[in-house]
Amino acid sequence: MSGKSARRLRKEREGCLANHNDLQTKAVGAAAAAALAIAIAPGVAQATEVPTGESPEQAATETVVPVAAENSSEAPAAQPTASEEPTATIATTPAPDSTAAPASMPETPVSPNVSAPTPADGDTAAADPAQTSTSDSIEQASEAGAEQASSSQTTSTAVSQVPLASSAPAKAPAEEAVAEVNGTTYSDIDKAIEDAKEGATVTLLKDVSPAKTFTKSLTFKGNHTLSYDVYGWYYTGDMVIDGATLVVNSDANRVKADEDQKWLVMCLKGSLNAINGGNISFFFDGSTGAKCAIYANGGATIVVDNGSFFSINSQNTKGVVGQGIQLDETAGTGIFVKNGSSFLIDGTNRGYVNSPIVYVENSTFTVQNCTSNASNGGTFTAINSDIMFVNNAGHGLSTADATFDNSTLTSSGNGYTGLHVRKNLVVKNGSKIDVSNGNGWNSWDADLFSGIRLIHNADIDESSEVRVAHNVSVGIRASDPKAHVNFAPGAKLSVIDNGRLTDGSHGEEAGRQFTSNGGGIWNAADMTLPEGAAIYNNDAPISGDDIYSTGSIAFPKAVKARLDGEQNNVCTDKIDGWYDDSANNRWVGDIPAKGTTDDIHAKSVKPGAYDVTEDTPLAIKAAHTYEDSLIYDKNADDATGATDPSNGSLDEEGHWVKRVSVRKNGFIRAGYRFIGWNTAADGTGDWYGVVAADSLAAKNSLDVYELLDGKGNDILYAIWEKLPEPPTPTPKPQATPKPAAVKASVATSKSALPKTGDTSGSAQAAGILALIGTALAGLSRTIRRSNRAE
């Protein structure tokens, strides 16, 4: 501390001490008036008596207003005038450990008007001016705390001459009692807290709003609320809220507690404990000058256990550099949420910073709507718990080490990185990590942030799942060449639709893109991806839409999905594999709107393990090949057979080869001969593969076809020529054969004789007789010729 700062602080302390002594003097008068009132009205004496063992100066210092004075027409001397700033009376009970150093009380940050949050680096605070100035003021705050403790003790001694009104403990009527301590009931909560010994239990009988804060260790029970509206509360004890509710509000109506630190609600060197259904809630409004709910000194802890709830709620914090919880010293400082409990920070500038230990078991833990980083550094352990970092303008969960054991993490809508792990990430026993939906929207340049940023090692076991989808930033970024990122066989991984354009939903400029290489995965480590990993539809403007790696990487087959047709892709075809997507040879599986097949580049990349370097990075995309074919149409319904298509192909570099050989005809048509192939069904187009040498088309026929630009098959039609009808042959006349001589015979068959009335039988008989006659005549002529010859 500089000499000038020390002198200034001492003057402020002296001024505060003078005002305080003046209040005490007035309080002595009030105590005397109270004694008089007791003599006049014994019925109200119980409300003003000081318990045994309490010095009268302590009673006067607390400025407890007697009941008689409340009904008097004269205002209590200790009340501030309308023009004075409301001030809560400083508690004078010394800390339980008189040898322990008081908690460090930081001064107000010097530079509160930094509007844009600054990226954190894992376990260090974000680099904003306020953080630096606060840290520099710790030594000053320690001295200030020591001076405050000294002045309080001096004040207590100075008023030790006030006589006791009574030495018997007060017991309020049951209908007026607000609290009970060790069997004694109190109608004044401040008196009850004052009388309670170190470590005692105060049972709340009604909702109360004390006028004074305290520093000693107390336990509060009862299903009621203890409310404060203060700033600068300097607490060094161990407070336990056991089934009760503590509300600390710091808005326009707040008053000073112990320190004139308007930017701070509470400085904590002890612990806050909500147990057995207890509730501790802080509220502050950044427009009043409040910036930090809890400034935690080394060793300070927050415990939320057995169905309890702890929350810090704020508003109007955009551009107001502050935090929900800020650590003065990291060692031993932690947040412990267990056994069905809940923890919430909502709407602060930064959530918690300077590397606390965070342990969550069988509970929920949420940080949301922060106007800068939600967290910064430390270690984070979640067991059987649900963790949420949602809609924060800076980082979501930023930590040195993170372990998720049968737990879920949802990190969405954060302006910077959704999950930032500087050392080791362990995901096991069925845990699910979901970092999706808009992380990275608040960036200002490419490659600053990621859905998941891994600085060192990560191990995801076979039963766990990681999903990174629909983010503005790169999906997963592993940046340490010495680190390993291992997804065990059986683990589930989805990296889909990252590298999106900003949409303006958070008030940011729409249409901006903050990736360069590797929209899905950017890897410099030794990375092993699991079988079945779904990595597709990511986008990077320079190279590697889905994967960009300068380190060792092993990746599986591309999943069977469809391209989404968004951003730089208008294609919605099915994915059939991995393809080269390097900077000078981006994948182009479809003819561009104003391009030709000369623009096609679809070089296939086989899945497997690749050991690459920064000079020869691997940049790939899950996509499809370019397909175009020449097909053959038989061009006649009565033709049979088949002719296989002539498929186009890609060369070794993935560029399209558009020339194909025309196939021989495989169709058959009865009564026709095949002339050749033509681009028109009526034969008026170009000729290919003409086989009829006597055809006039044979002179212009080609045997190689150049596929036309434009996705879709080209067609050649079979052209047929009708064969001439063969002449009908004229049959030669046949000589009539001479009848052979037949010896007449008389049918004696009974069946050959016609029946009566059977005319057909008569005709048959007449024919037979005529035939016999002819035969006999022929026989006769033969005999005569034979005789003449003799």
Q: What does the radius of gyration of the chain's CA atoms come to, in whole angstroms? A: 50
Candidate ranges 357-371, 662-676, 767-781; pick with highest mean pLDDT: 357-371
Spatial separation of the C-alpha atoms in residues 399 and 365, rounded to whole Å? 15
Percent over 90 (pLDDT), the chain: 55
Per the DSSP assignment, residues forming a β-bridge with 601 are: 588, 655
The least confident of 8-12, 451-455, 774-778 is 8-12
pLDDT at 746: 43
- Confirm if 556 and 530 have CB atoms less than 8 A apart: yes
Q: What is the DSSP letter of 277?
A: T
pLDDT at 7: 40
To which residue do tokens 């509730």 refer?
A: 279
Confidence of residue 596 (pLDDT cuts 50, 70, 90): confident
Q: For residue 734, is pLDDT > 60?
A: yes
Helices (H) and strands (E) in the chain, counts: 7, 55
Spatial separation of the C-alpha atoms in residues 343 and 55, rounded to whole Å? 41
Spatial separation of the C-alpha atoms in residues 110 and 295, rounded to whole Å? 16
pLDDT at 356: 92
Question: For the CA atoms of 202, 203, 208, 210, what is the dihedral angle to 10 degrees?
Answer: -10
Inter-axis angle of helices 138-158 and 129-136, to 10 degrees? 50
pLDDT at 779: 63
pLDDT tens string 160-173: 333 333 334 455 55
- What are 588's two structure tokens? 């182009």
Reduce the DSSP state of residue 788 to 3 states and report it: helix
pLDDT tens string 420-446: 999 999 999 999 999 999 999 999 988
- Non-local (6+) Cβ contacts of 415 within 8 A are 117, 392, 393, 394, 439, 440, 441, 442, 443, 506
Q: Pick the closest to residue 647 from 637, 666, 664, 661 (CA basis).
A: 661
Q: For residue 599, is pLDDT > 70?
A: yes
Q: For residue 459, is pLDDT > 60?
A: yes
Q: Which residue has the higher pLDDT, 681 or 252?
A: 681
Sketch the domain layout of the chain as residue ranges: 3-94+130-158, 629-722
Spatial separation of the C-alpha atoms in residues 48 and 188, rounded to whole Å? 10
- Confirm if 453 and 483 have CB atoms less than 8 A apart: no
| Assessment of whether the complete model's pTM goes beyond 0.85 | no
Confidence of residue 668 (pLDDT cuts 50, 70, 90): very high
Pairing between β-strand 271-275 and β-strand 309-315 as defined by DSSP bridges: unpaired
pLDDT tens string 80-133: 333 333 333 333 333 334 334 444 555 544 333 333 334 444 433 333 333 333
Q: What is the DSSP letter of 21?
A: H
Q: What is the mean pLDDT of residues 534-557?
A: 96
Spatial separation of the C-alpha atoms in residues 392 and 335, rounded to whole Å? 20
Query: What mean pLDDT, rounded, does the chain reach?
Result: 77
- Non-local (6+) Cβ contacts of 650 within 8 A are 600, 602, 603, 604, 625, 626, 656, 657
- Confirm if 332 and 354 have CB atoms less than 8 A apart: no
- Non-local (6+) Cβ contacts of 189 within 8 A are 178, 179, 204, 208, 209, 210, 226
Tell me how long the chain is.
Answer: 790
Q: Calculate the CA 749 to chain-centre distance.
A: 113
Indicate left, alpha or beta for 786 from its phi (over 0: left) and psi (-120 to 50: alpha).
Answer: alpha
Residue 774: other Cβ atoms inside 10 A: 12
Q: For residue 230, is pLDDT > 80?
A: yes
- What are 186's two structure tokens? 């109190």
